Amino acid sequence: MPPANSAEYYRKRRETIGQFSVPLSREKLNALTEKLKEQNKTKTQWLNEKVDEELGEQK
């Protein structure tokens, strides 16, 4: 059952989901976005894969 309101939803979401944000040159960001588009991946999917690789938890 979904939360009663958006404030409650986001409060619960923040308990399990963290944010990761870094500045990146527009040129690099555009190149990455294009490459991921070719691979049919989102930035979130790609970053999760890279984090798993770095932590040695690749499935």
Whole-model pTM over 0.75: no
Domain definitions of the chain by residue range: 23-59
Pairwise CA distance, residues 28 & 46, whole Å: 15
The residue assigned the tokens 């999917």 is 45
Tens of pLDDT along 6-36? 889 888 989 999 999 999 999 999 999 999 9
Q: What is the dihedral of CA 48, 14, 37, 41, to 10 degrees?
A: 40
3-state secondary structure 8-59: HHHHHHHHHCCCCCCCCCHHHHHHHHHHHHHCCCCHHHHHHHHHHHHHCCCC
